[in-house]
Every structure is written in C-alpha cells, then in structure tokens.
Structure 1
Amino acid sequence: MADSNFIDYVKFCSRSGAGGAGSLHFRREKHVPKGGPDGGDGGRGGHIILRGNTQHWTLLHLKYKKHVIAESGKGGEGGRRKGADGKDMILDVPLGTVAKNAETGEKLFEITEDGQEIILTKGGRGGLGNENFKTSTNQAPHYAQPGEPGIEEWIILELKLLADVGLVGFPNAGKSTLLSAISAAKPEIGDYPFTTLVPNLGVVSYRDDKSFVMADIPGIIEGASEGKGLGIRFLRHIERNSILLFMIPADAPSIKEQYDILLGELEKYNPELLDKQRLLAVSKVDMLDEDLMKEMEADLPANIPFVFISSVSQYNLDKLKDLIWQAIHKA
C-alpha cells in the first residue's frame, strides 16, 4: 500500500498567523505641535481554511505536508493606517473530508459541498492602535495593543467517500468484479483475499441517461470493528453511502450466517449504520439453476430485498440496477 495514490488519512500541524501589533503614534505636522494619537490597528493573522473541491478524490496532495503555516498580520501605522491582514492558507480537499483535533479526537466539521470554505485554525486578531484608547481624560494614550498570537494545533483529516451505494462483503465476495462489470471502474481483481486494498468508485449508467455512484469497500472480516484484517480503516467509508448492498457468494456455507456477521461488525463500529437501507446480492450463481436458487431462498435473511446475480455472465445485473435505483429514490 506504500505506493497507493489513495490516501484517506493525514495528520499535520496547523499554525495560523499572529495578529499585527497596533501602532503607538501621534500626529505630527507643521503648526500642529500636539496632534492627537493616530496609531492604526494591526492586521489579523492569516487563517488556515479548508475548501471543498470536486476535482480532488484523495488526500494524497496533503500527505507530505507536516506543517501548514499561514502568514502573520502586519503592524498598524501612523495616520490611522491599518496593517495588512496575513494571507490565508487555503487547503483544497475532497468532499466528505472530516477535520478532527488530533489531541482530543473531537470532530470539528465536515466538508460536503464544492466550494465550501470553513476556517480550520483561526488567525490571531490584530492589536488596536493607540487612537482607540483616546478619552476625554486621556487624550494622549501612550500604549497600543499587541496582536494576538496565532494558534498551533495538530489536525487529522479523514476522508469518507461519498457514494450512493456501498458494497459490503467478505473478501472474495465478487464486489470488485461487479463494479468492473457495471461501471467503467477498473479495480484490481484476483482470486485471493484482500485483492482490494483501497476503496474504488464507479459511476453506474442507468436507464434514460441516469446514473448513480457505487463504492467498492475493501472486504470486511469478523473482528474488523476491533481492527482485525484491514480493520476500521475503511469502515468509515460506509458511513457516507445512502444504500448498503451486501454481497455474499452463492457457495458460502450459510448466507444468513455471513450476513449476520457483516451486520454485527457494522453495528459494533457505528450502530447508526443499521438505519440505512440494505439490499442483498447473492453473487457467483453461474452454475446454479432456477430450482436451486429457489431452494436457497430459505437460507436468506428475512425482510431484505435480494437478487441472485452473476457478474461474469451478466445474469440479473439489470434487475440489480432496478433494485438499487428504487432504493435510492426511497432513501
């Protein structure tokens, strides 16, 4: 995975700019020997800002940024001249990026729209010049405010893929094969566990020029919510999917048992995932006839729409798309 271009987790030090100092200055002109205070305010320090950008789908461009530093504000000047604000540092991120405080683990916010800008680390305020402290009893204040210091904090950015449908299943359930069969995505496919090491997105064409986005999530194993296998690293991607499509191969010892294990792992990770609509696709049915499929229905979990499919022979793939489309609109 070292050479993967899909990066969904970065940690860096975010340091906003310090505010500029207010000016301690008095008006001095010919024939005005005792001009009043006219020190201008300091400029504010630059913010660190996150901006949603649909042109990005990974956090790869931030992988080697260990320190993100914004410019400090300039000091105020005489003649009520305000100092220049420090230049903001704007980081473009994919939609679905969650910002967290690395020290506390607290979720700060999430970027969900293209062009959305949210301040991550606020710049320090500029200090007030001595003109602001003039009163009727103190007409020549000999002090001005210093600027506020910038903030330095460690930040974690996590990406949760935005997709209409998330594929949930054990390794080798045929998720990647399905994605490659019904979309233009070309995930790595192989007959061994954990062929898929990073999530893959595919746009699936539907009737009348409609389409929906499907995410192939790396296979879940029992104990994934405790960190086994690929662990919880990719379970978070399922949180952003409208529909969960469970894929279980027809040659599984017990389809219902495997479904219950998968559901249990999702519940341990985040109980709210059980509120999402669920569909079931029984894959790899190439060698089964209609009678055998009818018999297998007794072993299927209750109260979940299902379809038997074969990605290799394209069997029932249109029926699967219909089922997904209905579920998306119901959601």
Structure 2
Amino acid sequence: MPKNLSSVAEAMTAFMQIIGLAKESLRKILLRGEFEEYSEDRRMHCTARLVEMLNQYSDALHKCDESDPKNNFLVEEIKVLEEVKGICLPNFLPRNAFLTILQGKVRAISSIPIGFVEQVWTYIEEVVISLLMRHSDNYYQLQLCARQAGPNLMAKMKERSIKWMTEIVDMEKLTDYTCDPEYVAEWNRLMAHQNAFIEGVLGDKERPSTITIEGIGEVEVEGLRRYPLMLPQAFDLKMRMAAYWKVVMRRFVDFMALHLQLSISNLVNKEMEAEIVNELMGPYGGGIERMLEESPAVAVKREKLNKSIKKLRDSKEVVAKIMDSFICYVD
C-alpha cells in the first residue's frame, strides 16, 4: 500500500519526487539511450526507435518520384522554359524557371515531413504517458492530472513542430541557396555529359529510345527530339536541379533531426513539469491538496487493511489477557 499523505507538505514532497523521477527516466530513454528500466520493452528503447523513424523518413524523401531524376526526363524543364520565355538574350538560364520547378517539387513532397512530425510526436506521447502512469501509480489524483496534461502538452509540441516544418517548406520554396561546395561540384560532374547526351539524342543515326547518363541512369529520349533548340538549356536546368535537390533533401533530414532533439530536451527539462503543475494547480485541478485524496479502490483497500489490523490488535489483546489469566491461575 502507498503511504497515506496527511499534509500538503507531504503531498508536495511526493509530487516533486515523482516529477523528478519521471524526468530522469525520460532523460535516460529519450535523450541518453539508457533503457535498463525497460530492458525487455523495445518500444521504450526510444533513441533507437527515433533513429529508425528518422531513417524511414529519409528513405521516404529519397525514394519519392520527385527525387528520381530519371522521372519524365527534361519534360517538365522544357515545359517551364517555354512558359518563361521573354525578350532577353537567349543564352541565359531564367532563374524563375528554376524556382518554378523547385517550388513544384517541394510542394509535392511537403506532406512527407509533416507526416513524420505527426508520427514521431504520437510515439513520444505514448512513451511519456506510459512513463508518467508508472511513476504516479500510487497517486490517483496525480494520474488524472498527468492523463490530462500529457495529451495537451503533446498537442502543443506537435503543433509547434508542424508550424516549424511548414516554415522550412516555405523557405525552401522561396529561395534557392546553399553554401555547400558539393552543389557546384555535382553540377559540373553532371554537365560533363551534356554534349554526349545531345549528340546521342540529335546526332545518333540509330535514334535510340533511351540513353544512359552517368549519375542519372537510363532515361527516355524519344519525345525530346522535337525540341532541339531547347535541349541544352533543359539539360542544364535539370542538372542544376538534380544537384540542388540533394542539398534540399539533406536539409530536410538534418534540420528535422536537430529540431527533434531540441524539442525533446525542452519537453523533458522544461515543458512537462510546467504543464503538469498548471493542470494540478489550475482552476479545475484542485491544487496540491487533491493529492491527499486517494482513489476509491485504494481507499477501500486501506479501510479493509485498517480493519484487519484493528482485528489483529484486538485479538492480540484478548490473547494477552488469556495468557495473563492462565499465568495467574498456575501461580
């Protein structure tokens, strides 16, 4: 049986101990990867599960159609270049053509990071609620507060992450920029195959339906022969996007990992305790005094136990009197 709290001071002490133990357990399983408390429960090996989810998220981004440079090779580029034509020199690649394609690609994959945010916070909510229930098992009123505060806090954290990720998506749609020198190096590697590709499309008498480009793969070219003048620009635009898209994908994954670690740290070290305190001390929480109230089940058990103890004491007194009488009779 848990200790019966008889004063506000005892209730406050118990509350602080429970919150302290819960925070330390969460630090272990969510931040440090120490899972001795749940050695048999793989679901609670949180750092490993989070890495798995992050890897699945990365795979989803890299395996989607937008990340396959062979998909509709040069078709979108030619279509966009036709629409952005203007009265200007012909040998300049229009920046708005690049941005138009970039925005379309980012929009197409934007549901993947948002879906990951929802998935990961749903998992963290399960972990946090389960752990809080375990640590507050003997305190019914605290469990009620934790059940209310936990989902509320997770909803706030999820909303905050979705808002942050939406801003990341909007930033990627607005500006094409990177300081990563690998972008230019990758673009140069891909552009080294431009002349051979154009020659294969327009000059090869065998008119192959597909051509293999190193770094891209085998692409269909049958329909591209109708646009001989646009092929150089379209190829350049495609290779710029292929090189830059790797940067975008890397940012989506890296930023998510960093944001996730910071959010979990804030959750454990700041947000959780404040949310539970607000719930407990709020207008509907009843204050710390509510912890003095036991759950009906525990109260019934305690009453039965007290009755049993009283019976044992009474029996002890009766036995003692009988023994005293027996001793007196013998004397």
- What TM-score, normalized by structure 1, do the two folds share? 0.21
**Which protein has the bigger strand share?**
1
Larger Rg: 2
**Which protein has the bigger helix share?**
2
